[in-house]
Structure 1
């Protein structure tokens, strides 16, 4: 791993650097930080600038271009970036500062470069980011984006920013980010935003050697570590929410994880060391489930999914980098697990950027670190209406909407046609298809035909519904039950700005997902469709009685013996053109109580697909109505039921709405898993018509063949599993 040299440390060390740099230090400098802040400056460089994301010579060349083209004027610092230029101008200054502070850039310690940074920071501060200016537009630029970049640059050039200019910058930051900003944990000062604000405050403290602000930067993090049951933050099930209604591990969550990892590392050993380690648990509970082969799944990336191709891989690398940095503050056991996890992601990734983060490069080069394989199992996160299912050779993920989770998020002109991503979108990846949703998928896919969804064909305007994720439908029964290997998930779906309603269930198994729909109705004067799949491919599609197969991808089996409708088209968008094969079920115009049953077989061959279609007894549909959906899979000993209301099916009777997953095991035992997706049950009784001899494990009362569960409402939709012995 590249680390800054002692000479670089001296450049950042205030008075102690003056002798080393000699004439490089401006004459007016009166820079006397105490030793604590000298060490923090050094640590800031080592942690944030040292492990560069691109080769150092390239960084130097970019900085030289920026220095040579800088032309301070009344309306710009660079002619191609007219003020306010909230993003580009501060980032260019930070790039120049990094080239100055790091070894091997070709501009290391270059006095003219540091002077240019100081001039640029002060010019931007006078013309845009001035104390007393009115913060027009997005608050984020004024409180986070701009000050973080300017302060970072100022800290990295050290004494080259005179005390007068430093004081003026500090005054500007204090104006837009006053200390009172941290007294209330609400609004735009929660979760990832709060971490970002604390980073800004710490940089402000380092620049001004301010003990009080350094203390506040550390202490103001405390609310971030608390688990929440509503609003922004981490939930007990591993969900992470930002903007109140949006699952966001893949954007705001990355920012939070990166920021916390940085603060842990920079403040370690200082008077303000961060000691709360709850975030360590979330690495494997909240982030890892949504990374597959190095890419962060789009169902937790909010409005950012369509920003650019392969953005899912870029976010995956950011998560990996943050995990490795956080590992430096974790226990040896956690650090070893995380390094193996990240190495496995990188080893399986098909995305090859031109440069690697230095920490990742070090792990990849270390033969003592094994590459962890892709795990197997099921993770259901009811508080964010998300599920991830992993089996050998394939993976699937489910995106739903509920009374607490929006259909989609749009804002700042982004993701204006993501309307139906919460309508049961079913992502899946088999071997060789890790980039299915990466390569210009969002700019070219038909937004009315997202895979797995049931939607009204009613045309919607761009940005339909409230912005920032406030598009929650009324449905409360959204979630399911899982024993950690298999699962049933369900969604009482209400269409976005539509009369369409449906009851959808998915049963996740070893080589298949059983997909059920019932009670599908609509009165929009338009057709309603269920999209069996929409693959970004030009592969050949073949079919037979009750089955279809997409070469190299997988198979589809319809239990009524029919065939889905299909289309093949080349779609364009965002400057790209991509091929799609779409399979869908047409429920007709304004349907009344329509339904469907089909099997998705990820990675299956044509022969396996045909055989599954011919095996009518492989799965038995016990019920598929707006009151109850249930199946039995004899070969696995599984019965799964989504009780939309109290009822009975397949020998199971539930006293109230719930999800139930029964799995009969060898040796005369069985597990019974239940959940309360509505989060409102004081008690639940589940009766199984099998004679039960004893309750072996789990929190329930056995009364004959009835298992009685206490207050499930407090479980936040989480599953409870009991083990019984059968007679």
Structure 2
């Protein structure tokens, strides 16, 4: 596996995700260059169609590829491993046909009334596609009575009815959610046109062109019925969805101009986002540090990012064997997304909560998210050189072996993927191997998220800022999200079923004000539907409609108003800092920019740091309080477990007295032990008020967090340890450590080390770990700050580590993303640079050694240097 280690370095900064426009153009064959360059050239010349000519053979190949991807081939479907997938396709089709047969007035399918629900119209098109799919799957059982031709004609008749009665009239359409009209319906309808191309030509030769014309007319956020790269709706995963549909539409119509422009438009999603020079004002996509953003400010790798990867890989498969751009660095870029963007966020087959947006409230998330990722990786590996393919295939095996809910190939989209997956699992030459090194720290500062991994656990931290949203609420999903970007953390422990620890049941049973890591005022907030009687705040006169920019900014995903969120990374160690403040809605309401009946909530205040080491995560908080005088709760941790699990809470008081149970006490440390799952977490209280420990049994409906969830009650034991500040109390400070898998013996060692707090104020927070020789500092204000051996020109994040061999390593980051330079002085030592990033300048100054780091336009990146004595 040496080749794989070289291809996928353990240090993620060694290979940033980076694809410039120049690189994007350079990967395309000369014969197809105009297809890529076309959109920019055409826009400059006022044209839409600057594309390379295609051939009828290419169009036919795209159709054949699409049918194979969706329905499989005779060869793939003859495999025994694919039988379950074929059974599922047939079962679904028979269910849909039964609903078609029993439909009542105003329905095409029973139980799916039409005329006012855009979601039901989308579902009806989906059901027709699922029936059509069963008729094209080689080796599958007939989906219904009669031959496949008869069933296909029933599908076509259904398309005619939907189009003529509910879709084709542009004056009646486009109500509800724009996504259904521009993407959802078009995806199912386009796939059906592909699957039934020959039958349509014989039975209703006019229908394909009619349907495509209607889809163009519904692309209202585009330009002239086509993609508009300047539209805020045509970005990231949404752009990939739309352009994939248009490639297929062009193939069934034989419209080369449509295909060429769609391919060129989709290729733009491969370019790494430069936040200082965004193209088409777009901030959606992958960043140099592996972050992924959708909706301009939402960290979304686990949902929209996953969709983007899937669509790009599908496009590679659709274009295989044609003259269109394919392979090469297209798959190379997707591979880098997997290694740097996705792999850090997957823990034992579970997608972390910090990158799911409103998806955290869905019942099918976590393991199911990773199953979709696995299918994309399986397909991606088929287009790569051997060494790269082996690394990705080894990761597929690793996920299957470590997940508590291994991917179910019967749920893959493509039968071809099922067969490839079986081949990978059966190949004994491929070792199961994680793409993550055992110890890894990833600072996703472009999306205000941090992941810290060690053997046995992973710690995921969600922050926010004026760049990144505190949370996402939309469409009745994630109803109580208010504090999810205020330092909420998720501590994943090896061996446990994460559906029992996190997922929808965590958010349903843990009060939103007591999410792990959060400082919140003691109050009761109301959800958007409770406030306004609908899924959004409706005030067209003030610019608030369902998908308006005002709705996005102040209701769906408001950004934070604090000016500092970021941290430094040194090897596998890291810091993160956050100044907690209000969100954009409260700031705007206070400034008089929002209507009187718009409700905005005020946050508590805190300055926080997380220092992520080997055995522990040390958390410092200062300035904790509330300007409005409310009581404030800081939740050290919250964990949930099934009611049958044996939970033990033990600890020791500061005077050495053993302690157990719940309540408020002067604890030196506390240990949470879930004997049923064999997991434990320790909490060391380094400074601050007495913590309060609680263990309650909570039953709540999953519908409490998402209106479309089944009204299913779920019961969990909810453990919390918190620090409570009474109303009117002055700002407070505290320091504590989270110690995953801690034993009682290990926790007792913290009374005399190894961690010491050097500073904990709203200006500077710092710790030292004696055993690691490591000093870590976050400074939050301008001026020079002293912490241990360091003088730091703040605001800045700095990590210093001294090794027994005499070397000193240093990492520096600008957590504001706005500074041009940061200076750090190591006091009392004359040092020279052994290695240093280009942005780091080292020189001697009176009293020590100074590092001057150019951080302009670094967007939170860490710069490092290794020094030795002169």
Native 8 Å contact 2:669 2:683 kept in 1: yes
Whole-Å Cα distance in 1 between the matches of residues 169 and 568 of structure 2? 54
Q: Which stretch has the larger CA shift, 573-582 or 405-414?
A: 573-582
Give ranges in structure 1 of 5+ residues lacking alignment: 1-32
Native 8 Å contact 2:62 2:248 kept in 1: no
Q: How has the CA–CA distance of structure 1 residues 135 and 54 changed in structure 2, closer, same or farther, with 3 Å as cutoff?
A: farther
Match of 2:190, SS? helix
Q: Give, in angstroms, the shift of residue 693 of structure 1.
A: 3.0
Residue 510 in structure 1 maps to residue 614 in structure 2? yes
Whole-Å Cα distance in 1 between the matches of residues 231 and 385 of structure 2? 32
Residue 139 in structure 1 maps to residue 178 in structure 2? yes
Q: Residue 90 of structure 1: which of 121, 125, 142 is its match?
A: 125
Higher relative contact order, chain-length normalized (CA < 8 Å, sep 6+): 2
Whole-Å Cα distance in 2 between the matches of residues 723 and 179 of structure 1? 56
Match of 1:170, SS? helix
In structure 1, what is the equivalent of residue 861 of structure 2?
Answer: 718
Q: Residue 216 of structure 1: which of 257, 261, 264 is its match?
A: 261
Q: How has the CA–CA distance of structure 1 residues 42 and 479 changed in structure 2, closer, same or farther, with 3 Å as cutoff?
A: same
Residue 290 in structure 1 maps to residue 353 in structure 2? no
Residue 637 in structure 1 maps to residue 773 in structure 2? yes
Whole-Å Cα distance in 1 between the matches of residues 247 and 721 of structure 2? 53
Native 8 Å contact 2:292 2:305 kept in 1: yes
In structure 1, what is the equivalent of residue 687 of structure 2?
Answer: 560
Q: How has the CA–CA distance of structure 1 residues 45 and 237 changed in structure 2, closer, same or farther, with 3 Å as cutoff?
A: same
Q: Which stretch has the larger CA shift, 686-695 or 664-673?
A: 686-695
Q: Which stretch has the larger CA shift, 253-262 or 569-578?
A: 569-578
- Count of residues paired in the alignment: 692
Match of 2:568, SS? strand
In structure 2, what is the equivalent of residue 75 of structure 1?
Answer: 106
Q: How has the CA–CA distance of structure 1 residues 53 and 129 changed in structure 2, closer, same or farther, with 3 Å as cutoff?
A: farther
Native 8 Å contact 1:399 1:424 kept in 2: yes
Q: Residue 106 of structure 1: which of 138, 141, 146 is its match?
A: 141
Native 8 Å contact 1:458 1:498 kept in 2: no
In structure 2, what is the equivalent of residue 49 of structure 1?
Answer: 71
Whole-Å Cα distance in 2 between the matches of residues 172 and 130 of structure 1? 6
Native 8 Å contact 2:473 2:557 kept in 1: no
Whole-Å Cα distance in 2 between the matches of residues 710 and 353 of structure 1? 45
Residue 265 in structure 1 maps to residue 330 in structure 2? no
Q: Give, in angstroms, the shift of residue 690 of structure 1.
A: 4.1
Whole-Å Cα distance in 1 between the matches of residues 265 and 480 of structure 2? 37
In structure 1, what is the equivalent of residue 229 of structure 2?
Answer: 184
Q: Give, in angstroms, the shift of residue 505 of structure 1.
A: 0.5
Q: Residue 852 of structure 2: which of 709, 713, 724 is its match?
A: 709
Q: Residue 60 of structure 2: which of 24, 30, 38 is its match?
A: 38
Whole-Å Cα distance in 1 between the matches of residues 290 and 338 of structure 2? 9
In structure 2, what is the equivalent of residue 10 of structure 1?
Answer: none
Q: Give, in angstroms, the shift of residue 200 of structure 1.
A: 1.3
Match of 2:794, SS? coil
Match of 1:635, SS? coil
Q: 1:116-515 to 2 correspondence within 5 Å?
A: 116-130=154-168, 132-133=170-171, 134-161=173-200, 162-177=204-219, 180-230=225-275, 231-274=283-326, 277=330, 278-308=333-363, 310-352=364-406, 355-356=409-410, 357=412, 358=418, 359-373=420-434, 375=437, 376-435=439-498, 436-438=501-503, 440-463=505-528, 469-496=556-583, 497-515=601-619
How large is the Cα RMSD of the aligned pairs?
2.2
Whole-Å Cα distance in 2 between the matches of residues 333 and 723 of structure 1? 32
Q: Which stretch has the larger CA shift, 565-574 or 628-637?
A: 565-574
Q: Which stretch has the larger CA shift, 41-50 or 480-489?
A: 41-50
Match of 2:196, SS? helix
Whole-Å Cα distance in 2 between the matches of residues 495 and 300 of structure 1? 21
Residue 547 in structure 1 maps to residue 669 in structure 2? yes
Match of 1:577, SS? strand
Match of 2:735, SS? strand
Whole-Å Cα distance in 1 between the matches of residues 628 and 557 of structure 2? 22
Match of 2:226, SS? helix
Native 8 Å contact 2:568 2:799 kept in 1: yes
Match of 1:526, SS? coil
Match of 2:142, SS? coil
Q: Which stretch has the larger CA shift, 698-707 or 401-410?
A: 698-707
Q: Residue 760 of structure 2: which of 624, 631, 640 is its match?
A: 624
Q: Give, in angstroms, the shift of residue 222 of structure 1.
A: 3.1
Q: Which stretch has the larger CA shift, 648-657 or 180-189?
A: 180-189
TM score, norm. by length of structure 1? 0.91
Q: 1:9-20 to 2 correspondence within 5 Å?
A: none
Give ranges in structure 2 of 5+ residues lacking alignment: 1-54, 77-81, 276-282, 413-417, 532-550, 584-600, 654-667, 674-678, 703-711
In structure 1, what is the equivalent of residue 623 of structure 2?
Answer: 519
Native 8 Å contact 1:479 1:491 kept in 2: yes
Q: Give, in angstroms, the shift of residue 581 of structure 1.
A: 0.8
Q: How has the CA–CA distance of structure 1 residues 560 and 258 changed in structure 2, closer, same or farther, with 3 Å as cutoff?
A: same
Q: Give, in angstroms, the shift of residue 290 of structure 1.
A: 0.8
Native 8 Å contact 1:185 1:223 kept in 2: no
Native 8 Å contact 1:388 1:396 kept in 2: yes
Whole-Å Cα distance in 1 between the matches of residues 299 and 84 of structure 2? 30
Q: Which stretch has the larger CA shift, 284-293 or 395-404?
A: 284-293
Match of 2:559, SS? coil
Whole-Å Cα distance in 1 between the matches of residues 239 and 504 of structure 2? 33
Q: Deviations over 1:141-180 (max 9, x none)?
A: 1111001101102211231223122222122122223765
In structure 1, what is the equivalent of residue 8 of structure 2?
Answer: none
Q: Give, in angstroms, the shift of residue 620 of structure 1.
A: 1.2
Match of 1:205, SS? helix
Whole-Å Cα distance in 1 between the matches of residues 739 and 83 of structure 2? 39
In structure 2, what is the equivalent of residue 22 of structure 1?
Answer: none
Native 8 Å contact 1:343 1:364 kept in 2: yes
Q: Deviations over 1:94-141 (max 9, x none)?
A: 211221111232028722221222122222122222153431111111
Q: Which runs of 4+ in 1 moved over 6 A?
A: none
Match of 1:111, SS? helix
Match of 2:213, SS? helix
TM score, norm. by length of structure 2? 0.76
Whole-Å Cα distance in 2 between the matches of residues 697 and 469 of structure 1? 46
Match of 2:578, SS? strand
Q: Which stretch has the larger CA shift, 331-340 or 660-669?
A: 331-340
Whole-Å Cα distance in 2 between the matches of residues 437 and 104 of structure 1? 40
Native 8 Å contact 2:488 2:517 kept in 1: yes
Q: Give, in angstroms, the shift of residue 381 of structure 1.
A: 1.0
Q: Deviations over 1:29-66 (max 9, x none)?
A: xxxx9332222111112223338795212321221232
Q: How has the CA–CA distance of structure 1 residues 239 and 585 changed in structure 2, closer, same or farther, with 3 Å as cutoff?
A: same
Q: Which stretch has the larger CA shift, 187-196 or 426-435?
A: 426-435
